[in-house]
Amino acid sequence: MPDFDLTVVGSGPGGYVAAIHAARLGARVVILEEDANRWGGTCLNWGCIPTKALIHGAEVLETVRRAAEFGVRAGEPEVDWPAMQRRKDEVVRGLRRGVQGLLAANRVETVVARGRLLPGGSEAERRVAADGREIGSRAVLLAPGSAVAVPAVAGVELALTSDTILGLDRVPDSLVVVGGGVVGMEFATLFNLLGSRVTVVEMLDRLLVPLDREVAERFQQLMSRRRIEIHLGARLESIEPAGSFRRVRFSGGEVVAEAVLVATGRRPNTADMGLEGSVALDRGAIRVDQHLRTSLPGVYAIGDATGISMLAHTASYQGEVAVANALGEKRITADYGVIPACIYTQPEIAWVGLAEEQARDQGEQVRVGRFPFSALGRAAVLGETDGLVKLVASSDGTLLGATIMGPRATDLVAEVALALGLGITAAELASVVHAHPTLPEAVAEAALDVAGRAVHVPPRRRPVS
């Protein structure tokens, strides 16, 4: 009989959530993490949490700078970068201890080792090597996460990555960000708020390519107004030393800055795991079916390593689905139709479901509702009026997706995700009474605007197109 019902390899938001979920179903669970200082995975230690802690510090700085607008006298604020870093580290340590405490409270055995799948075994028992120890279990769940991917260009070793930039000992006077995606733009706006002169170099023809094009273009305009220099359609060619600075050459020009951040994506962290020859891979990503099963019976995979969606909450969701399938008799299918995505720029951006162009590409007769935060009372009170709520609906008014740019967009998107999950119409969403004055009123107004009935903007006809 195997020692465990489930072995989880990796303790990120997919792995540790899956382990706890399995333990609460009564399973005997062991979880492996290769680094004793990274329980909680990349998200907690180098990604979601530390970056958002720094971003919030920058937002507090901006609030103090604007204090006079709200009738508050304050001196000129200064950035205390070491203190900001200390707070970030304290937040991370506290949450890391929380993950370890939850695992212990649920009687999940924890092992510090890089798990490697051993050859042989059977569907009734799979074995994993853990630095000299062999662990047998009924099922194995692979959740190794991802690692930074850098382009193969000359001098790339002179640049920082999204991992190493968190360890800077001071705020650079100037920063080049290579990559105008989610990670790149979060760091670009962070250091712009902290006072750095920021330049963004993006290979594609627009920023934030997963985003609704209309909203992405409005965001780019805002960034330009904030003196972030943006070069689109610019392919990185080399990074060279220039005294104590760095010279970044790209198609169409060059720029010299104190520091360079390469934020060009991540890759599945699947090397040296014993997968070759036993588990099917697709360009390094673990291939899974709709039940999160790999090609090897009894072995499941979730999270960034599957290449499906590099979002922490997707990994957590997949973890619960995989556990149900690994330990139960009824098969559950993973559904990615309502997975919200968030960008912690300034202003925040979030989306869920289909963007307008995606819906049109799928043949939908689209109806769009928009509502600007400049017309919202609560946004005016907060002094944060940039951005809008944009809802996309079918010809019968059924909600298909939403994109929000503005104050607390990453919180507001939850309401629309629930609406999409329930399959309701824009009219039904608009009929929900929203408290006043609040930010969610913008969602209700955008829902009304799908039918051209928004109250707090001039009337416009909304033909089906």
Q: Are 267 and 147 in contact (CB under 8 A)?
A: yes
Whether 436 sits among the annotated catalytic residues: the reply is: yes
Catalytic residue among 231, 291, 434, 436: 436
Tell me the Cα Rg of the chain. 24
User: Which one, of 42, 64, 63, 60, lies nearest residue 51 by Cα?
Assistant: 42
CA distance to 232, 236, 403, per residue, from 179 (Å) = 10, 9, 21
Burial class (CB in 10 A: 0-12, 13-18, 19+), 339: middle
Catalytic positions, written as ranges: 436
